[in-house]
Amino acid sequence: MRRIVGTVVGLVLAVALIDGAWELAERWFPAAIAADASDQEMLARFVMAMPLAGQAIIAAGWLLAGVVGAFAALRIGQWRPGGWIVALVVVADGVWNLTQLAQPWWLRGATLILPLLGAWLAERHFHRARPGDPLIS
């Protein structure tokens, strides 16, 4: 049960970080015309016209989603595959995102690579909790 809870918490955190990065990029770099999220073509033009710094914020969100989501799954679940499950689900979300929205080529690559890099970093710096350790230290 602990493994499932850890993986679910990691996924929730990862999705929240991705959504937060998109919101932050949209807030700091607003479009000249308000982008309607239901209109895919307008949203694609908005992303393509976004300054590089805004796109970098989105890419940082994908990296943080991998790091934080995987680390939470590893720490709570005490199970190494949990972090990789989170990263693979985040990459699958990124693939779905790429099929729905036109993005610059570098951001497409970042969407696929950065969550995996984040999970690798989380696993590299993860240490198993010992009995008596707080859940998050």
Q: What was the pLDDT predicted at 21?
A: 92
Average pLDDT over the chain reads 85
Domain encompassing residue 119:
2-124
Residue 112 lies in a domain: yes
Average pLDDT over residues 63-71: 95
Global pTM?
A: 0.81
Residue 130 lies in a domain: no
Average pLDDT over residues 91-96: 93
Instruction: Quote the CA–CA distance of 118 and 137 in Å, as a whole number.
Output: 19
Q: What is the dihedral of CA 95, 97, 102, 108, to 10 degrees?
A: -50
Q: What was the pLDDT predicted at 137?
A: 45
Residue 134 lies in a domain: no
Q: What was the pLDDT predicted at 100?
A: 82
Q: What was the pLDDT predicted at 98?
A: 86
Residue 12 lies in a domain: yes
Residue 129 lies in a domain: no
**At residue 80, does pLDDT exceed 90?**
no
Average pLDDT over residues 42-57: 80
Residue 133 lies in a domain: no
Q: How many domains does the chain have?
A: 1
Q: What was the pLDDT predicted at 50?
A: 81
**At residue 34, does pLDDT exceed 70?**
no
Average pLDDT over residues 99-107: 85
68, two tokens? 């934080």
Residue 18 lies in a domain: yes
Instruction: Quote the CA–CA distance of 13 and 68 in Å, as a whole number.
Output: 7
**At residue 126, does pLDDT exceed 90?**
no
Which of 79 and 59 is assigned the larger pLDDT? 59
Instruction: Quote the CA–CA distance of 137 and 134 in Å, as a whole number.
Output: 6
